[in-house]
């Protein structure tokens, strides 16, 4: 079991992801156009996306992700009004992660926010290389899937139920007591015009 240091590019925002093992969460890569759009919104495509446009994440429970410094630099946005809440830092535009709402114990930490050396040992292998239908380059990964593979979908579903029973949606450094995001989400402008 490991604690993973979390850090934005400039070091203002730091934290830790606690009690992480390869089995405790899911290391995945997502090539969907929304994850790509988020990197584009921040202007961090080069650091965030791999050669096929994939974003690597480690999905865990909300209460396992703790912010220690730089809370005031946390920002959130949505690509659509009902989409995932996407977190980043205002100090240096580092992608932080994705969450749903306060009551759902889910947090996907984006690799750019993890300060981790032995990734394969700590997080395990990539369980799924998802949404390759939106990939922007050649995908040559053994776990590639055009959409989102069902076994992972069910695995996350089971984990969410388990985490919820354990109360792992709280405490959260991303939502206040009333369940509001600690930083009011921006709605990405070009998409608001279409909705
Ligand atoms: Zn920063
Ligand atoms: Zn995605």
Ligand nearest to the CA of 48: 2
Ligand nearest to the CA of 8: 1
Q: Which two tokens stand for residue 193?
A: 């015009």
* All structural domains of the chain with their residue ranges: 2-192
**Stretch 144-164: mean pLDDT:** 96
Spacing, Cα 147 to ligand 2 middle (Å): 10
Distance CA 184, CA 91 (A): 16
Which string of b and e fits 61-95 if b means at least 16 CB within 10 Å? bbbbbbbeebeebbbbbbbeeebbbbbbbebebbb
Spacing, Cα 187 to ligand 1 middle (Å): 21
Ligand nearest to the CA of 110: 2
pLDDT in tens, 50-85: 999 999 999 999 999 999 999 999 999 999 888 899
Spacing, Cα 153 to ligand 1 middle (Å): 32
Residue scoring higher pLDDT (119 or 188): 119
pLDDT in tens, 7-44: 999 999 999 999 999 999 999 999 999 999 999 999 99
CATH of 2-192, one of 1.10.10.10, 2.170.150.70, 2.70.160.11, 3.90.320.10: 2.170.150.70
Distance CA 143, CA 167 (A): 31
Whether 159 shows a pLDDT value over 60: the answer reads yes
Ligand nearest to the CA of 129: 2
Distance CA 171, CA 31 (A): 30
Ligand nearest to the CA of 7: 1
At a CB cut-off of 8 Å and minimum separation 6, what does 156 contact? Answer: 26, 59, 106
Distance CA 169, CA 159 (A): 12
Longest alpha-carbon distance in the chain: 46
Spacing, Cα 33 to ligand 2 middle (Å): 7
Distance CA 61, CA 133 (A): 27
pLDDT band at 190, cuts 50/70/90? low
pLDDT in tens, 69-78: 999 999 999 9
Spacing, Cα 114 to ligand 1 middle (Å): 13
Spacing, Cα 10 to ligand 1 middle (Å): 4
Spacing, Cα 68 to ligand 2 middle (Å): 27
pLDDT in tens, 102-122: 999 999 999 999 999 999 999
Spacing, Cα 102 to ligand 2 middle (Å): 20
Distance CA 139, CA 52 (A): 6
Whether 195 shows a pLDDT value over 60: the answer reads no
pLDDT at position 17: 98
Ligand nearest to the CA of 59: 2
Distance CA 173, CA 63 (A): 8
Spacing, Cα 48 to ligand 1 middle (Å): 15
Spacing, Cα 31 to ligand 2 middle (Å): 6
pLDDT band at 191, cuts 50/70/90? very low
pLDDT in tens, 166-182: 999 999 999 999 999 99
Cα distances (angstroms) measured from residue 165 to each of 17, 102, 151, 154, 170 = 20, 15, 21, 17, 11
User: What percent helix, strand, coil does the chain show, rounded to 5?
Assistant: 25, 30, 45
């Amino acid at each position: 079991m490991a604690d993973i240091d979390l850090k934005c590019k400039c070091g203002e925002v730091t934290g830790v992801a606690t009690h992480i093992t390869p089995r405790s969460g899911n290391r995945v890569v997502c090539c969907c156009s929304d994850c790509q759009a988020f990197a584009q919104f921040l202007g961090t495509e080069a650091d965030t996306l791999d050669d096929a446009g994939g974003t690597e994440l480690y999905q865990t429970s909300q209460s396992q992700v703790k912010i220690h410094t730089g809370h005031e630099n946390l920002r959130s946005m949505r690509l659509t009004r009902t989409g995932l809440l996407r977190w980043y830092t205002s100090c240096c535009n580092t992608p932080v992660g994705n969450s749903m709402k306060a009551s759902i114990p889910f947090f996907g930490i984006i690799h750019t926010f993890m300060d981790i050396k032995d990734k394969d040992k700590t997080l395990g292998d990539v369980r799924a290389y998802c949404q390759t239908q939106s990939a922007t380059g050649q995908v040559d990964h053994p776990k590639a899937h055009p959409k989102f593979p069902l076994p992972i979908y069910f695995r996350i579903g089971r984990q969410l139920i388990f985490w919820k029973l354990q109360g792992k949606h709280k405490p959260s450094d991303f939502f206040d007591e009333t369940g509001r995001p600690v930083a009011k989400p921006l709605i990405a402008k070009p998409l608001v015009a279409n909705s």
